[in-house]
Amino acid sequence: MTIEHNKASRIRGYINKGNPVTLWRVDKLTASSIDPANGTPQNDLAAAGVEFTAAIKQAFRGCKFHVVTGIMNFKSFVYMPGDTYCMGYVTIGKEYTAERGERLVYTVTAHTVENNRHSDIVLQQTCKTSNPKKAVTNAKKYLRRVTHEELTKITSTEYHEAMTLQTDMIEDELYTACNALLGTRRNSFLTKDLAESPLMVEMFWQMDAGTMKFLSPDVEVKLKDVHRLHKEVKAIEDSLATDKVVCVQIHEVKIMGEKTHEFSTAVIGMNRWATDQVTDYCRYTEETLPEVIAGKLAVLTVCGMNSAVMGVGYRYDENTFYVIC
């Protein structure tokens, strides 16, 4: 069974035990890469944006920009090609005070900033100054690529949600099958208890042994449905209790001029809210990647984006996967 999930342009969650952070997806926000240096500045904000982003480009070789043009401010997302999330974004706006008059204000917004002077979640990720040199220093300090550890912590909640959705769907099917077998509607909370009752367990055993005969073929079909779905529910429960779930991120690299792949991995815990349960960070090559992970990746790579597959895992995006081992 494969389930498709829609994904928002940004994700909000916890990387550490402090404040929640917001990350912006590269593929959602950057339909094209726009370098501010390639255009002619239309106003003083755009001119300041060209200088600001040029300094950032010098500090982070290979980074790209996506400018969101506006009359009242300059805004540009900063990212590295191939990354899932942006490093952050920078803005330049005008601020007026009676003492200083009008001035330009430079703001860096990134997941590494902890600004507890604000109650707003996004503003807690901002660092603001009117000094252009200080703004460049702030950009160098706070604009950082999202590490595999951070990506795992903030996206693992989505994996848990996908698996919960699958479990709920199968349990709903079991509820419907039980009602069809009994010809009556029961409380959904009692469905699993019914499937595990001594009478049902005995009927399942007799049916598997081939010693049960049915007056109605329809009853046999319905009992088999209940038995099959109950096995699936039990398999999910056993999997949640014993299986290891690994977040895998695939990187395309060049070694001696040849393209190959490397794999970042991290093991996640069963508690969707406990980011400190992410452990065992490793890096593998194509030759050293464990076979069980490679086999599950082979299945997930042919699935659509944001797809969950029972007993296999979840495809978060083009290069990030959750594998059930």
d(CA 197, CA 17): 43
Residues in the chain: 325
**pLDDT (0 to 100) of residue 276:** 64
Q: What angle do CA 249, 251, 257 make, to 5 degrees?
A: 165
User: What is the spatial distance between Cα 163 and Cα 16, in angstroms, rounded to a whole number?
Assistant: 23
pLDDT tens series, the chain, 325 aa: 444 445 678 888 878 766 788 999 888 775 555 566 666 666 788 889 989 999 999 999 999 998 886 667 899 999 998 888 999 999 999 888 777 778 899 999 999 998 888 777 778 899 999 999 999 999 999 999 999 999 998 888 888 888 888 888 888 898 888 888 888 776 665 666 777 888 888 888 888 888 888 888 899 899 999 889 988 888 887 777 778 899 999 998 888 888 999 999 999 877 665 666 788 899 999 999 999 999 999 999 998 888 888 889 999 988 899 999 8
**pTM of the full structure:** 0.77
The pLDDT of residue 168 is 87
Characterize 123-154 residue by residue with b for buried, 16 or more Cβ atoms within 10 angstroms of its Cβ, and e for exposed: ebbbbbeeeeeebbbbbeebbebbebbbbbbb
Residue 272 has a pLDDT of 60
**Contacts with 80 (C-beta within 8 Å, 6 or more apart), sequence order:** 60, 62, 63, 64, 87, 145
Q: CA nearest 8: which of 308, 316, 323?
A: 316
pLDDT value for 17: 67
Q: Are strands 320-324 and 21-24 parallel, antiparallel or unpaired?
A: unpaired
CA-to-CA distance for 100 and 90, rounded, in angstroms? 23
Give 310's contacts (C-beta < 8 A, 6+ positions apart). 1, 166, 232, 236
pLDDT of the residue at 133: 95
